[in-house]
Amino acid sequence: MDNYILLQNYWWFLISLLGGLLVMLLFVQGGQSLLFTLGKSPQQHKMLVNSTGRKWEFTFTTLVTFGGAFFASFPLFYSTSFGGAYWVWLLILLCFVLQAVSYEFQSKNGNLLGKKTYQVFLVLNGVLGPVLLGAAVGTFFNGAEFIVDKAQLTDLGNPVISHWTNPLHGLEAAFVIWNLCLGLGVFFLSRVLAILYFINNIDDETLRKRCRQQLPIEAGLFLIFFLTFFIHTLVADGFAVNASTLEVTLEPYKYLMNFIETPAVGIILLAGVVLVLYGIAIPLLSKTAKHGIWIAGTGTVLTVLALLLCAGWNNTAYYPSLSDPQSSLTIANSCSSLFTLRVMTYVSFLIPFVLAYIFYTWRSIDLHKITTKEIEGDDHLY
């Protein structure tokens, strides 16, 4: 394997890892969507909002980093998807803008809309954010409607490489049942992770009891939608790339074969699923156990990592085109130059230090659990 191919696969691995971290951090959105389900009083609402409010920047920063890394390493995907399917990405961006505004202004004196309105905005972000992100990622497996024509660059009047063939410009992804199943799976997973996080982060027995009662419902719905998507993906035809001719064709059981032919990815997936299920079971089996979020969170990162690796590795088109299969994007035909990938690889060596800083900051924030006394006495509250 030459250096260029090695770097291409290395950066797809980093993109997949960032995707896994992003989905794990969506517990913030999950917690927001549960605001009125778990909270039955203004004081409980305040505890829940402050629990997620101290972490929302991590999710937002990871989302921006994920998009930036995609732009730098696979610019053709960025221009095709973000430039063509712009409505779905604009809606996702709007959801996160609403989140930022809501946290900063809901408790400000004299805010125009009132605290309740901003809390409703948080719930909207908690529902639409995970569903739309999941549906967008579903197109990695189920395809999107676009055409890529690199020769178009020579047209000085309209030098656009790719264009969308559907007038909905990305919104159609949410109407594909399999994409929607993944979106709902991500949504209910975010609620599961949020419940596990609340059990760990909020020192209030009433809320913890309510969390344990709600957990089996959310976990059951997550398993229904995720397994529906996953089983369909394993038995569906996938977009395979001929290593010699670079021709893209449909291949039966392509994603199932990817897990078989790259056993390391299959092992990562299996480990991730086991950890998620174990993390969910922990608070159900023990009323004193509070560490389920770390087990299930780690499992989430591994599971999403394996799914995204399966979508791009082993001669697979990670962004299939339903309009023209030969326009499908692969790791090889959509990546940056060798020089760019090499320079970014040197920069990526700083990632462990960034992760260490995040771990330190997270631990400092969570050093003291959220309690009723703290909520009543702290002047800096969301």
- Residue 250 binned pLDDT confidence (cut-offs 50, 70, 90): very high
Rounded Cα gap, residues 16 and 11, in angstroms: 8
Share of the chain above pLDDT 90, in %: 62
CA contacts within 13 A on the Cβ side of 84: 23
Alpha-carbon span 307 to 269, nearest angstrom: 7
Q: Give the SS3 label for residue 349.
A: coil
- What's the average model confidence in pLDDT over 181-205? 95
Which position has the higher pLDDT, 150 or 281?
281
Largest CA distance in the chain: 68
Q: Which helix (H) or strand (E) holds 107?
A: none
Q: How confident is the model at residue 268 (pLDDT cuts 50, 70, 90)?
A: very high
Q: In this structure, what DSSP letter does residue 162 have? A: E
**In this predicted structure, what is the pLDDT of residue 110?**
66
Give the three-class secondary structure for 181: helix
How far apart CA 103 and CA 121 sit, in angstroms, is 10
Does the pLDDT value for residue 5 go beyond 80? Answer: yes
How many angstroms separate the first and last alpha carbons of the chain?
52
Neighbours of 91 (CB within 10 A): 16
C-alpha to C-alpha distance for 20 and 69, rounded to whole angstroms: 14
The β-bridge relationship of strands 162-164 and 146-148 is antiparallel
Whether the pLDDT of residue 362 is over 90: the answer is no
pLDDT at residue 380 greater than cutoff 60: no
**pLDDT at residue 47 greater than cutoff 70:** yes
Neighbours of 229 (CB within 10 A): 25
Contact predicate 197/31, CB 8 Å: yes
pLDDT at 379: 53
Coil/strand/helix, residue 83: helix
Tokens coding 72: 């730098």
User: What pLDDT shows up at residue 157?
Assistant: 63
The rounded mean pLDDT for the chain is: 90
Q: Taking a C-beta distance cutoff of 8 angstroms, is the pair 273, 281 a contact?
A: no
Q: Which tens digits make up the pLDDT trace of 80-127?
A: 988 888 899 899 989 988 898 888 887 777 677 777 888 899 999 999
